[in-house]
Structure 1
């Protein structure tokens, strides 16, 4: 597998793990309702990253379309998680993983 694809897959998989962890941790917060948008975006982000990783791994001709959508959702998730990062370490870590994944997706589109 091409090194660039492996780097992209690594970023996608790290983002999936961070989003799943963040969503689970958000559901343990005292004010879960305040974290609802974060949880929803975490789930959307993990799902689009997983689908994108599968398309990249098999070399699908449709991967570029998914990379654009994935970058957009990663950005939205990072933006939301950053709102909570000051008091939630899991949100801070998730935002960082989402930003790295967004950048990797944008580089994948350009390649």
Structure 2
């Protein structure tokens, strides 16, 4: 039962890490969207070259962050899947042990009835 609890805790922590990574990716996506809107909505004459370059650089950095975050989320998700499989195995083992206890109890009951 302790193994089930530990596996459950690991899966929960991994889920929290994945959720945090998704939140960071969403934040980066929102910043990129804001930069794209700024460029798209600004009249060409009022947006000087350096501002365009800065906005493009911000978008490029945002895209790199999204890629890094997506990679991290993927790794954590794979780890979570592995932990889920381990957790499932532990639960199955616990269920089997409970079944074995049931079989043993039945045998004891049968033996008592014979006497």
Q: TM-score, normalization: structure 1?
A: 0.42
Structure showing the higher helix proportion among its residues: 2
Give the structure with higher Rg (CA). Answer: 2
TM-score normalised by length of structure 2? 0.41
